[in-house]
Amino acid sequence: MKKLVTSLMVFCMIASMCFASGSQEAEGNPIIWAKSGPEGTALLAAAEAYKEETGKTVDVVIQGRSGYRPAYNTALLAGSTELDAVLDTAFVVPGLAAGGHILSIDEYVKNAEGYNIEDFDDVIQSEMSYNGEWYMFPTDMSAESLVYRTDLFEKAPETWDELIEMAKQFTRSMNPDSPTEYGFGFSGANSVLEGTFQGIMKAYGAELVDENTLEIKVDSPEAKEAFQIYADMRNDLQIVPPDVTAWDYAEPLIALQEGVVASAQFFTAGMPDLYSEELTPELAGKFRFVAQPAGPYGSFTRFNPLGVMVNANGEHREATIEFLLWLTSEEGGRIYTDAGGASPRKSIMSDPKYIAERPWYEELLKAQGVGSIRVAEQAIIKESFNKWASLALNGDMSVDEAFDSAAEEMRNSI
């Protein structure tokens, strides 16, 4: 507690210096939006701890998950002052930063004494940034990788070829004695397909766009080869459920919990549910989260961190940044993590206490992370990829045709 008070005093001093120009804050408390779920719950708890130590109130407004992103985007793009900051996934940063709707926090995180941005993995730092400047305070580590049943797999598959062979063993149409109906599953819904593809794409040496030149590369042989694996799993080998084309987050979780699949590409956010005897009574604890299987260029695990962006038109900028510097410091990060969040600070993730509580942290610390597209045109590229790649996954087009069409559309759009 003494360390916490000292830390808070330091950040208060920093905030005072940062805003010594004499700008006037509007009356009232900073308002931060977050969607319902573990991050929102953790943010509420952290704000309460902050108030207890400083006497300063931060209002956390929990929004429903449905329509959350369109709602805050509408507010930010309209120049609204009804919110001072918003918590979301980092892939949204480039578009909002390029449009001037969120504040650059570069000078604050880089100049704050004791903040130590090197405590964040390089991929996390990149995900918080646009054009070399920070625009997001990092609150949560989220990753998507391979989760498998430890009572079925003798060892983790090291390559995608190995994963396919193991998945065949646990697909009932290929092995009538299989305890699971399918060997593998992944999130293949139109809205999330580009994110699902990030890890395997990098493992095969591919990218959708050259971020330096904006050259479109989705029609490269490497990109097509990588996606062909997903298409073959569903359409030819049939080792994944046919409805993976509608799977987002909840579907692979339920399929693992109910023993429908022996393994899946899944998220760290759901690992506590898989370890819970209440939520997964038959199979609790029989799962392991590991780095993605390797391709010709190595193993890459998708890092999809979350953080808080500051509204460029917010009326409580000083108080908002003061709180967020504390929230994402090591002291604040521990309080946030204890309340159900997942600070991406390496010093926290490597703490034996948290590794004991969350065994998947040890694997994350070893994994080679890959992040999202960091260009202003990210939304256009993502939307186009999802549309055409979904047709290939559905079996309505070949991967070659779909990716060629996607490339043509992207080149005409940016």
Q: What is the pLDDT of residue 24?
A: 56
Give strand pairing partners of 345. Answer: 120
222 lies in the same domain as 309: no
Rounded-to-integer distance, Cα 101 and Cα 1, Å = 36
Residues 251, 265, single domain; the answer is yes
Q: Is 251 helix (H, G, I), strand (E, B) or coil?
A: helix
Q: Spell out where 91-132 has E strands.
A: 129-130
Domain membership of residue 363 (yes or no) is: no
What confidence tens digit (pLDDT) does each residue in 329-351 have? 999 999 999 999 999 999 999 99
What are the start-end ranges of the H helices in 277-398? 317-327, 330-338, 346-349, 352-357, 360-366, 378-394
Please state the pTM of the whole predicted model: 0.89
Asked if 148 and 136 sit in the same domain, the reply is no
Residue found under tokens 């902050």? 50
Burial code (b: 16+ CB inside 10 Å, e: under 16) for 358-372 equals: bebbbbbeebbbbbb
Contact call for residues 260 and 181 (beta carbons, < 8 A): yes
| Model pLDDT, residue 352 | 97
Q: Examine the domain organization and report whether 130 and 192 are in the same domain.
A: no
- Beta-bridged to residue 59, according to DSSP, are 31
pLDDT of residue 326: 98
The DSSP H or E segment spanning 123 is: helix 122-127
Count of structural domains, the chain: 2
103 shares its domain with 158: no
Q: Indicate whether 404 and 267 sit together in one domain.
A: yes
**Residue 403 and residue 292 share a domain:** yes
pLDDT, residue 9, reads: 44
**Residue 352 domain-assigned?**
no
Residue 153 lies in a domain: yes
Across the strands, what pairs with 366? none
How many whole angstroms separate alpha carbon 411 and alpha carbon 108? 37
Residue 223: give the domain boundaries. 143-302+371-413
CATH number of the domain to which 203 belongs: 3.40.190.10
Q: Is 159 in the same domain as 216?
A: yes
**Residue 32 within a domain:** yes
Q: How many residues does the chain have?
A: 414
Compute the radius of gyration of the chain from its Cα atoms: 22
Residues 320 and 181 occupy one common structural domain: no
Same domain, 273 and 327: no
Q: What is the pLDDT of residue 121?
A: 96
Q: Which residues of the chain have pLDDT under 70?
A: 1-24
* Domain co-membership, 224 together with 157: yes
Residue 362 lies in a domain: no
Do 77 and 167 sit in the same domain of this protein? no
**Quick one: three-class SS letters along 186-216?**
CCCCCCCHHHHHHHHHHHCCCCCECCCCCCE
- The per-residue pLDDT for 27 is 83
Q: Is residue 253 part of a domain?
A: yes
Question: Is 395 a member of any domain?
Answer: yes
> Nearest Cα to 297, choosing from 194, 368, 375?
368
- Let me know if residue 359 belongs to a domain: no
